[in-house]
Structures are given as C-alpha cells and as structure tokens.
Structure 1
Amino acid sequence: MPKSPRPRARFSFSPTVRALFLAAATCGAVLPALAAIEHEEVDKLMQAGKLDEALTKADAFLKDKPRDPQMRFLKGVIQLDTGKRNEAIAAFTQLTLDAPELPEPYNNLAVIYASQNQFDKARSALESAIRTNPSYATAQENLGDVYARLASQAYSKALQLDQNNTAVQPKLAVIRTLFTPTPPGAKSTALVASAAPVPTAKAPAPAPAPAAPPPPVKVAAAPAPVAAAPKAPEAKAPEAAPAPAPAPAPAASTASNAEVESAVRAWASAWASQDMDRYLAAYGPDFTPTGGQSRKGWEEDRRARIVGKSSISVNIENLAIKVDGQNATAKFRQIYRADNLNVSSRKTLDLQRSGNQWHIRKESVGG
C-alpha cells in the first residue's frame, strides 16, 4: 500500500487492551476489574503467540459474558491470525451491528477486504468508520491507501483501453512506486488495523478537530549570576554583593539515562531487523528466561519466532527510565507488529551495567 510518513506493518491487526477499566457499551456499566484482567491475560497470550490458548480463554469468558465488546473484538483478531478469516469477518460485522458507535470493527473489516483485493468493500467500511468518528486518524489513512489502490486499477484499465494515452503512464508509474515489495527486515506499508476499541456508555458525538497546540515552552538553561539591584544612596550603605553562581547540574544521571535508552532502542532495532546476533547480545550472561526455560532453549525459541517473518516492527512509546548505580529499569509501551499479528503491551526491562555496556537481566510483560 502507499508509503506513509510513519512506519506501518503489513496487514496488521488490533493491538488489544490499552486500559484496565473499560466501560461496557451494551449496558453502560463499568466493567469489573476481573473482566479487565482477563482481557489483559488474553492480550499476553496473543503476544506470546499462544493463539489456541488465547482463544480457549476468550471463549470461556464469552460463555458468561457473550455481549462483552472488548473480548469479542479480541476473539475476532485471534480468528484472523489463525486463518479463520470468514469467522473474523462475521465477528467484526456483528460488532458493527451491536456496537455501531465503535469505529474499530469497521476499520478491521476494511483491512480484511483489502487483503482480498475487495477495495470497494474496504472503502465502504472505512467510510462507515469515519462517519462514526471523523477524528479517527487510522481509518482516514487507510482510506487514502484504498483510494490509491483504486486509482492504480483505474489507470491500468485506462492504459489497456488506450495505450497511446501518454498522460496515464506517468501517473501509473507514480502509483506503482507506492506498491513496491518491501525487502526482508524492512518495514512494509499496508492498511493499518485499529487499536482495540475502548467502549463508552453512550455513543459519543463525533469529536471536533483538536485545537492547535500552544507554542512549545522551552526550558531555560541555568540562569547566569545576576547582581542585586543597587540600593538608593544612603550614608555608608554597603554595595550589594552579586548573587553566587548556581552550582552546575550533575550530568552523570542524564548520561546514564541516555545510555540506557540507547541500549533499549538498539535491542528493539535488532529485533525488528531480525539481527539475532545483536538481539541476543543485548541480554546479559545472567539473564534467566521466565517459566523455568533454559537459556539455550529460550534462544532457540526466539530464533524460531523471529527469523523468517516478512516484516517486523517494534515501536517503543512512553519510555520511563530509572537508574540506580549499576542497575536500571526501563518501562514502556511496546507496539509489536509482524505479518498479521499486531499487539500492544506494557514491557519492563531490568538492565545492569557491564563495563561500558548495559545488558538485559530480566524481561517482563505488564509492568
């Protein structure tokens, strides 16, 4: 699909739960904490690639709460990722009927239709999503992608009908550059699936376009020493002494934070580029995998899960770093996309300095 100013993943689907407490669209009541926790558990299973287990857990939840829109949405994503495309279409379609205030099911239907080259259906679904929420940027972007693909088809047809039309060929050439294959390891471009819906008690009115943000406030540097204003002339009044210069701010903490951030982003970059040597080197010798798995078994499992994907992107958002001497903690939102899988989750990395390098000693989800 057309190139975009930001990286996107090939036919990626919903990132799942983004909050612990969600409002139920069907009854207007706040979901209990237990239900939100079960949403999060399904999210973690999907991220780990345990789709059968995630589906079993989703089905068990829906047996008692069959109208829960969040879990129904997650189940649709699982069905799609396990090749049950028709069932996923049915799930998202039913959601558009039961919760028409949610634009995300329309958007994910459009992604499926586009993958089947049904661009008219994709366009119709995206227009429904935008009518539901005109400020829904993902659907607006995807609609542009669909229009570009339709334009390509129309230009190709025009050229078939009139090969002497010199005006069409340059236009078609420009459009085709947007659909060039993506080399392995690079970020591809395609329709982007929506985030998991956050239902509300009532269907909200279309959100107005956000007001322009105020001019950024620049943080001033440490002020230079300023002499006190002279006092009015008095008999033998002593001249005011200049204020002492402020002590320079310590740079060690800032430098350490920057080093940890560099290590975290290098780890994500190695993962996305499927550079296994660099990826595994990010983990220290004392790193212990969770679940009692051996280090060797964990490395073999990671190679099997990473190498061979048509594309991977690992985006880091809201990175918060805390450094304590030779140890550090990095917490962030991880947006992972690979082939048809698209998940978002909280991630915590515990790191330790070894020489002039920071290495991961513990990795956990949901911190």
Structure 2
Amino acid sequence: MPTQNFFKRKPLSAALRLLVVAAALSMSAAHADDYADVSRLMRAGQYPEALAKVDQYLAGKPRDPQMRFFKGVIQTETGKTNDAIATFTKITEDYPELPEPYNNMAVLYAGQSQFDKARAALEMAIRTNPSYATAHENLGDVYARLASQAYSKALQLDGGNAAVPPKLALIRNLFSADAKAQPQAAAKPAAGAQASGPVSVAPTPAPAAKPAPVAPPPVVASAPAATPAPAAPAPAPAPAAASGAEKEVETAVHGWAQAWSSKDMNAYLGSYGQNFDPPGKQARKAWEEDRRARIVGKSKINVKISNLSISVQGAKATARFKQDYSADSLNISSRKTLDLAKVGDRWVIVKESTGG
C-alpha cells in the first residue's frame, strides 16, 4: 500500500524551526480520489473548500485517520492552533501507533512556547517509531530551546557566573544560523520516501525542505569470471548450505507475521530471542506488555510480507521486506528489517527496525 511523506519547514519563533509532517497514513483505492481532491485544494491554498470536503467525508467515515490528519493540517495552516491540537490529540488516542500526529502536536506546542509538552509528544512519537528521524531532529531543537531558557534563567539569577554566557551564545548562534538557512531550504521542492506502486499524494500546502535521500540497500556485485586453465575448469562452489539457511530464516519470518496476524501472543513473543533489543530502550517486560495491549485489543489484524530479501552469515541473518499492516480501519505500508540469530535449531529475532 503506497505511502509518501512530505516535510515542511515551519517557523515557530524568531529562531526555532521544527518540521511539520503531512503523511499519507492510509490510502486505499476506494478513497484515493477523495484524498487527492483534498490534497489538490490544499496545494492551491483553498482551505475552506478543502475543509468542507474533509468534513463531508468524515460525516460518513468519522474514524478515518488520513482525513482527520488532513483536517489538523488545514486547521494549522489557517491559524486555528488549538483546534489543530485537539484534532491531533484525538488521533493519537484512537491510533496510538501513528507517530505523525504526535510530531505535529509537538510543533504546535513549541509554537506556543510549551516546550515541555512538545518534548513529551516527541518522545511518544519516537517510542512509537524509534526510526522516525523527523521526531529525533525536532526533539533536538526542543532540547536546545529548553537549554536556552534554562541558561537565561541561570544568568538572571547569577549575573556573575562567567560559565553561562558562552553556553547561551552558542545556542543563540545555532538558532541564528538555522534562521539564515531557512529561505534557501524553503525554496527546495517537496520530496519524500515513496514505496513501490502508484503514488499517493499527501497534503503539502507550501514548498518544503528537501530531506536527505534514502540510501538504497547495498548491492553485492558479482566478481569477474576467471579464465579457466587449459587442463580443466575449477568446479563451482555448492550453494546448498546457504540456501537451506535462507529458507529457515524465511520460514521464521513468515511464522512471526502469521502469529501477529492471528494474535497468537505465545507464538509472536516466542519469535523474539532472549537477547532481543526492544526499541526506545524499553525493558523487555514493558515492551511485551505494550505489544499485548496493542495486538490483543484489535478486532482483526493482517500482516503481509513482500519483496523479502535475506542475507545469512553463519549464525546471524538479516531479513528486509515490505510490510503491509492492517488493523480494523487502519492501513500502513512500511519497510521493515529484522536481525535474527540462530539459537539451537531456531532462528529468533534479536533486533527490529522500521524504514530504510
């Protein structure tokens, strides 16, 4: 299921800038025209018309996350900040697995100088998706603003502390340099990471900063063939052992996806090894409880794997694939990487990451 993300630089104060993400959270063929119409109106700056179409759509499908996200972006662009915060907050309550609404809440909070709330929202975005680079960058900006406030307060309380002014100046110079770079960044066309298949359009009302390009997966080049000796050519190496291990890993990955789809928690959690590194520096027990709450609470889950690529080196393996996840009315397509290790006669997951 195709997705595309657009990133827009939005000034929040004289110096601080955070990224607003307008991402296609779900896109089905049945509703693609409605999404595209709203996006077209937003690109043209026709926000009242776009909002009317969004409200008309939501009257029949009030839980649709994509249209609700569009509504939050429209409210943001038309200056209805508190309404936008309320919209994104409700999306996070109904779809806590989506990082983008948390990110946009943080941007709006930062614009109101509520940096503690912005920090909390970004930490939730990162907990939901530890590979979400936008949220990591935004969190760094929020920490810098909090540091600036703290140093300013320290200088106010103790004007004779010679250690504070250089630190405060360093942060202010950082904001100043960032502000000077803003016009050049804003002139760049919008760009985003696109999955395979038809393009789905997400709202991007203004020109966007161009994110760093995503590096393609490494390609192993074949070595040039050696000229055979006159006597007899050397026999080709037998690939049987490697292909057998790859088949075992493939079976383990599909078994993990099937256990997830069937909400078989014993089999699902059993797919992870004792040395599994939970995302976001969670404790293993807390991670398992969180996964149980998110999986068992769904009425129906379907996880499909495609474009599976497996590499095996001894007792370690890496599986990369496209994952199409659907649960109730939510549909998400993403790239997934699983690092596995062989324990006894089983391949178990030791690390899991999204994106890339």
Q: TM-score, normalised by structure 2?
A: 0.48
Higher strand share: 2
Q: TM-score, normalised by structure 1?
A: 0.46
Higher helix share: 2
Q: Which has the larger radius of gyration?
A: 1
